[in-house]
Amino acid sequence: MTPGTTAEPATRSELPPRPRTWPRRTLIVSALAAFTVATCLPAIGGVEIDLGAIAQNWRRGAANLSALLQPNWAFVPRTVQPMLETLQMAFVGAAIAAALSVPLTLWAARPTNPHTPSRLAVRAVINVIRAVPDLVWATILVAMVGVGALPGLLTLVLFDVGIVVKLVSEAIDSADHPYLEAARAGGATQHQMNRGLALPQNLPLFANQWLYALELNVRISAILGIVGAGGIGRLLDERFGFFAYGDVSVIILEILVVVLIIEAASHLLRRRLA
């Protein structure tokens, strides 16, 4: 390169040329637009955007909405038992999941399980479990083991195990492990390392996610009854079926209050753990 070519831009302006971003930007925007258009084509399964139907339904909808805004407080006593069942399911589900999540997590993280095939196998199972939505699990489990709290409980356990194992094992994977390395250098077996170091070290992480799972459980178990898996959701579904919107709004308000209380309690506990 001659000195003249390097000096030339400097004489014109101090600024480097603007990077050419518009071709890429146009490409990305048009791809997103094309995808969005494709999601609006009913012929291939897309969503038919029909604001007219909503306008038509609006009068009936407004009546329903005003009924929802008038809670039927006399209904409260009948909600106590199902609400308790919901809370019990949430709690027991979280406890069982907590017990199951410890070995599975240590199995799914690289520093605690150097054996690749078994680690990948556990991860694959967890990923498949997580890919099936909660209510889909509940629907299938209800068909398999019958209506009641048991399929709901199983759904919660599966869901919690999926979340806790994924989050904690990824946290273990991405952290540095000086103590584990020291123990390995000192000749500890993998079991000794996991039992004596990895587990106590990561227990706060676990506890955090267990509480989070409990929070999620209260929310999910409130709706599991819709497909017959026990709890307050069954009552909610029944009242919806009877168009008893006053009762429905009582149930929704109760769920709201319970979720807020559980979240506040769990928030306090987590602050103490941190």
Partner 1 sequence: MSDTLESRTRTTTASPAVVLPPRPSRLVQTVATAVVGLVLLVSVTTLDVEWAALRDLPAAVGEYGVLMFADPDWSRLPRALFEMWRSISMAWLGALLCVVVSIPLGMLAADGVGPTWLRFTLRGVFAVIRAVPEVIIALVLLTVTGLTPFTGALALGIAGIGTQGKWTYETIETLRDGAADAVRAAGGGRTAVVRWALWPAALPALLSFALYRFEINIRMSAVLGIVGAGGIGSMLANYTNYRAWDTVGMLLIVVVVTTMAVDAVSGALRRRIMEGP
Residues that bind partner 1 (CB under 8 A): 35-36, 38-40, 44-50, 53-54, 57-58, 61-62, 64-65, 68, 85, 87-89, 91-92, 95, 127-128, 131-136, 139-140, 143-146, 148-150, 153-154, 219-220, 222-223, 226-227, 230, 236, 240, 245, 252, 255-256, 259-260, 263
CB of 112 to partner 1, least distance (A): 23
| Euclidean distance between CA atoms 121 and 123, whole angstroms | 5
> Which DSSP state fits 187?
T
Helix (H) or strand (E) holding 106: helix 76-108
In whole angstroms, the minimum distance from the beta carbon of 1 to partner 1 comes to 28
Shortest Å, Cβ 28 to partner 1: 10
- Return the biggest CA–CA distance within the chain: 91
By the 10 Å C-beta count (0-12 exposed, 13-18 middle, 19+ buried), 132 is classed as: middle
Complex with partner 1: residue 71 or 112, whichever CB lies closer: 71
Which lies closer to partner 1 via its Cβ, residue 212 or residue 245?
A: 245
Give Cβ neighbours of residue 244 (< 8 Å, ≥ 6 apart).
72
Nearer to partner 1, 149 or 197 (CB): 149
Name the nearest CA neighbour of 232 among 90, 76, 81: 81
Write the CB contacts of 190 (distance below 8 Å, at least 6 apart in sequence): 112, 113, 114
Q: Which is nearer to partner 1, 107 or 137 (CB)?
A: 137
Q: CB of residue 23 vs partner 1: minimum separation in angstroms?
A: 15
Q: How far is the CB of 253 from partner 1 (least distance, A)?
A: 10
Amino acid at 159: F
Nearer Cβ to partner 1 (46/103): 46
